[in-house]
Structures are given as C-alpha cells and as structure tokens.
Amino acid sequence: MSAPRIKAVIFDMDGLLLDTEGIYTQVTQLISDRYGGRAFDWHFKQNTIGLGAYDLASYIVRALELPISPEAFLELRTPLMNERFPFAAAMAGAEALVRHLSAQGIPIAVGTSSSRHYFELKISQHREWFALFDTVVTADDPQVGAAKPAPDIFLVAARRLGVNPAECLVFEDSPFGISAAKAAGMYAVAIPDPAMSEDKFRHADHRLLSLEAFDLKAWGLPDYPRDAATHGRP
C-alpha cells in the first residue's frame, strides 16, 4: 500500500477510542423489552453503528417495531446512558497511539457523532489523554451541518487543525464513518467489530483488527520508539 505523507490524524470515538457500543446495545434492549419490541441483535445492530442520534433512533423504532416516536426513544435512553457512559473503557491501543502522535507533534482530532454532553460523560475516566487532542468536533457543533455519512464533521476537524483534507487520515469503525471520511477527500482506515462483513468496508483504504496493528511508517508517520515493550504499547 502506498500513501502520501499524512499530516494529521482524525479519530472517531465510539467503538474506536472508547468501548461504548456495548452500552448502546444494552440500553436499546432495555427500552425494547419495556415496550415488547424485538431483540436488538447483530442483524439490527450492524446497521446503527456510526449513525447520528436521530437517524439511529428512527431506524431502531422502525426495525424493533416499537410503539413510540424516535423523539420518545431518545428521551427514554438519556438517563440510562447518563448512568453508564462514565464507565466506558478505552479500546486496545487507543491511548498509546494518541499519546505517541501528540508527543511527535502530529495534529490530532476527534470527529464523533456523539453530542458534546455524551462526549464529556464518555471521557470521564480518560480526560488526561483526551486533553491531548488539538480539537474535538461533535455532531451538535454549530459548524456541523449534517451528521455522518455526510463529511461535515471531518471537514470541520481538518479546518481547525489547519490541514488539507487530502493529507488527513481518519480511523473509523463504521461504514457510515468511512463514507464520511471518503466524502471529505481523506484517507480512511477501518477498525470495525470483527463480526462486521468485509463487504461493508470495501471503500476503506485499509482494514485492521485494532489500533495496535496500525503501521505508522506505512503512512509516513513517526514510528513508536524501538525500546517499546510491545508494538503499539510504548
């Protein structure tokens, strides 16, 4: 694989930096059970990863046959997620890669479909290394016109970093996120749930099992120190 020298890196958050997807699944099932809806299994789950809040709620209400509106679904899940998000764990290799890129002076950003409120809850246990990001763009940012798969979130991030979109690399775990990155004219590396079909990521420039497997040098980025204990874990 050949790629130009990358000057900035943009990270999705849910399922990529932080392990929050299980929380979304648990909360959705609780609400579905309350209203006698269908099981929120992988058949449905795979179609929601990376969606903005309203699009996600609309899909779930329709797919699980819930007798409520998307707005009601979002209202019901708010207190349930408020309780759970502060306990989200970091994904493998996430903190190490963020710290390394920051130490090397590489501009880094978060581009997430989460609201600012949920972003703050999710990083409760990770504020030290999230403070290393040069900018954070959430779905409710006033400069964002549309959620993923629209490119807005990533374009705003690139503009704030002062880097041409064509010189940005995006890490994403969802097909919608990859579509958003490609629409922004950026390179995109997919790190999806292992259960995701490879066919959903044909538009990605590369696919990895985790951030620990990312080859920095292949993208023109400074590698981890040679004395690192293990690759991806300085």
Q: Inform me whether the pLDDT recorded for 233 exceeds 50.
A: no
pLDDT band at residue 4 using 50, 70 and 90 as cut-offs: low
Long-range contacts of 192-201 (CB under 8 A, 24+ apart): 192/49, 193/15, 193/21, 193/46, 193/49, 195/42, 195/46, 196/46, 196/49, 197/46, 200/46, 200/175, 201/175
226 CB-side CA count, 13 A: 0
pLDDT digits (tens, 9 = 90+) for 52-84: 789 999 999 999 999 999 999 999 999 999 999
In the block, residue with structure tokens 């909360």: 27
C-alpha angle 186-192-196 in degrees, rounded to nearest 5: 125
What mean pLDDT is predicted for residues 90-105?
A: 97
In the set 14, 141, 173, 205, the catalytic residue is: 14
pLDDT band at residue 2 using 50, 70 and 90 as cut-offs: low
In the set 12, 141, 152, 173, the catalytic residue is: 12
Query: How, if at all, do strands 187-190 and 18-19 pair?
Result: unpaired
Distance CA 38, CA 52 (A): 22
Distance CA 54, CA 61 (A): 11
Q: Which residues pair with 135 in a beta bridge?
A: 109
Q: Is 55 a catalytic residue?
A: no
pLDDT digits (tens, 9 = 90+) for 33-54: 999 999 999 999 989 887 778 9
Q: Is 12 a catalytic residue?
A: yes
Q: Inform me whether the pLDDT recorded for 3 exceeds 90.
A: no
Domains of the chain, start order = 8-19+88-219 (3.40.50.1000), 21-87 (1.10.150.240)
Distance CA 171, CA 73 (A): 29
Specify whether the CB–CB gap between 7 and 105 falls below 8 A. no
Amino acid 17: pLDDT: 98
pLDDT digits (tens, 9 = 90+) for 106-128: 999 999 999 999 999 999 999 99
Amino acid 229: pLDDT: 45
